[in-house]
Amino acid sequence: MSHFDTLVDICLKRGIIYPDSEIHGSLSGFYDYGSIGYEIKRRWEEAWRKHFLKLHPNFHEIQTTTIMPMNVFKASGHLEHFYDPIAECPHCGTKVRADHLLEDYLGEKFEGLTTKELNELMKKHNIVCPKCKKPFKEIENFTLMFSVDVGAGDDKKVAYLRPETAQGPYTAFKREFRANREKLPLGLAIIGKAFRNEISPRQFVIRTREFTQAELQIFFDPESLPEVPFDKIKAYKLRLLPQGEKGIIELTCEEAVKRTGMEPFFIYFMAMSQLFMEKMGLLEHFRFKQLSDEEKAFYNKYHWDLEINMPSFGKWIEVAGFHYRTDHDLRGHAEVSKQKLNIPGKNYVPHVLELSFGVDRNIFALLDCNLKQKKDQWYFALPPIVAPYDVAVFPLVNKDRLPERAREIYYSLNTTFKVFYDDSGSIGRRYARVDEIGVPLAVTVDFQTLEDDTVTLRDRDTGNQIRVEINKLNDKIAGVF
């Protein structure tokens, strides 16, 4: 069984992530998070909040609706430009995204090419339907947005499910700027759902039709960049793949300012993004990849993808983006809405730095890069900060007052930590079950516990066990986190 198949098998077996509405036949590209998976995801989101929203006192989280008026997407450019190229087989009905099909055949990326260019490549390389081996129709553009009817009768209007969370902070900027005493920089964050009608969802939760994003939009004065504590991180090394380089180079933040020409303000937030990945235990799998002028959106002055080298696929996959979007977004919304979005008394519209994380892709990266094997057992060696439980508590056997003592310890720990309790099956099987889902520690109550009030504390990754006094157990567990 491949690495990917093993990962998916554990996710399905342990109810971590699984297809939505399975009993009715699932729709492709829609997944549910079970009790274990949701806790991993919830803890990742909470870690993201704590990390990014504490970077400045004027960074705040908001929540906006998932259904938005048509004019929002007219202003953002989605109505005009938000398409993917579709290759459809007229013989068997197979539909695939054309640039991904070419990537699978030729091993290169073809995002951003026109339908004309893609059609020429399809003909040049004789790309045929992978199912029936017959030619595709001419490639056409396919809109990715889900439209919905809002209201009834003459009041009915067409609206859209948001294809990204970013538009919420832009439409809310004017009110939030006033509410937060008209100060810049202003950071508006959203963690929420977005929807895209993907032509061919694939690779589990890597490419889906409903997904979660965690985004921070930082509004600032481009003529007076906000001060950041750059001295604290100037010696920190970034893992970069700039244009023209064939492999990762490591540069201090101070060196990166000189090499990239980017101001310390931007390099600081790159460093904060990498530090978050480091907290998630992904640093050795991580890089910033600089996009070329042809690859990046025309309005982005700076565009770096945060990529993870995924063991399941043997390649680098984007899990987040670092985008300096200039004033493109607010200007577009000002033009369509006829509202002034410039700073009162000053003749400029704020610029935006966007830190955009695909939550589901980051969860997959956590699972993928931390899927380990010891002897014949596979398990998720998750960082404690995102493990579904902090600690498990077991009685050695289910008799002789051990379960009662174990439950006492469970309830005492449960006031501080998230604790898993299990008293069924052999102790070896119970260790294996909690190892598999990534629980870092396990407490075992045995006969010695009844004599001297000590327990066994076991480490998931090494299997090492130590005796700990019960009255010191809280501090010992807290030391892991």
Pull the structure tokens for residue 280.
């998630």
Which pLDDT value is given to residue 109?
Answer: 84
CB distance 400 to 447 below 8 Å: yes
Q: What's residue 111's pLDDT?
A: 81
**Residue 420: CATH number of its domain:** 3.40.50.800
Give the contacts of 306 (CB within 8 A, at least 6 positions apart). 273, 274, 277, 286, 287, 288, 318, 319, 320, 321, 322, 357
CA proximity to 419, closest of 446, 393, 387: 393
Residue 443: strand pairing partners: 393, 457
Domain total of the chain: 3
Looking at residues 89-107, what average pLDDT do you find? 92
Place of tokens 């009817």: 149
Q: Which stretches of 145-252 are DSSP H helices?
A: 167-179
Domain ranges, residue 130 = 85-143
The reply to whether 50 and 196 lie within a common domain is: yes
pLDDT digits (tens, 9 = 90+) for 163-183: 999 999 999 999 999 999 999
CATH code for the domain in which residue 334 is found: 3.30.930.10
Residues 53 and 93 in one domain: no
The helix/strand/coil state of 394 is strand
Same domain, 233 and 325: yes
Please indicate, yes or no, whether residues 168 and 122 belong to a single structural domain of this protein. Answer: no
Looking at the fold, whether 33 and 170 belong to one and the same domain comes out as yes
C-alpha–C-alpha distance, residues 205 and 9, integer Å: 14
Q: Please give the full DSSP string across 155-185, using - where no structure is assigned.
A: G-EEEEE-S-STHHHHHHHHHHHHHTTT-SS
393 in any annotated domain: yes
Euclidean distance between CA atoms 42 and 48, whole angstroms = 10
Confidence tier at 362 by pLDDT (50, 70, 90): very high
The pTM of the full predicted model, rounded to 2 decimals, is 0.94
Residue the block writes with tokens 């509202």: 339
Quick one: 254 and 356 in the same domain? yes
In this prediction, what percent of the chain has a pLDDT beyond 70? 100
SS3 392: strand
Task: Please check whether residues 367 and 411 belong to one and the same domain.
Answer: no
Place of tokens 């001295």: 231
Task: Check if the beta carbon of residue 195 is closer than 8 Å to that of residue 209.
Answer: yes
Phi, psi of 58 (to 5 degrees): -105, 30
Same domain, 217 and 183: yes
Burial label for 292, CB within 10 Å (0-12, 13-18, 19+), is exposed
Whether residue 23 is contained in a domain is answered as yes
Task: Average the pLDDT over 85-97 and give the result.
Answer: 93
pLDDT tens digit string along 386-409? 999 999 999 999 898 999 999 999
Q: Are 461 and 377 in contact (CB under 8 A)?
A: no
Average per-residue pLDDT for the chain? 96
State yes or no: pLDDT of 294 exceeds 90.
no
Phi, psi of 280 (to 5 degrees): -80, 5
Residues 6+ positions from 339 with CB-CB distance below 8 Å? 174, 333
Both 188 and 47 in one domain: the answer is: yes
Q: Are 392 and 439 in contact (CB under 8 A)?
A: yes
Residues 446 and 349 in one domain: no
The single residue listed with the structure tokens 């995204």 is 97
pLDDT at residue 481 tops 80: no
Banded pLDDT at 413 (limits 50, 70, 90): very high
Burial label for 125, CB within 10 Å (0-12, 13-18, 19+), is exposed
382 part of a folded domain = no
Predicted confidence at residue 297, as pLDDT, reads: 87
pLDDT tens digits along 20-56: 999 999 999 999 999 999 999 999 999 999 999 999 9
Specify whether 172 is located in the same domain as 29.
yes
Q: How far apart are CA 196 and CA 200, in angstroms?
A: 11
**For the purposes of burial, counting CB atoms within 10 Å of the CB of 230, is it exposed (0-12), middle (13-18) or buried (19 or more)?**
middle
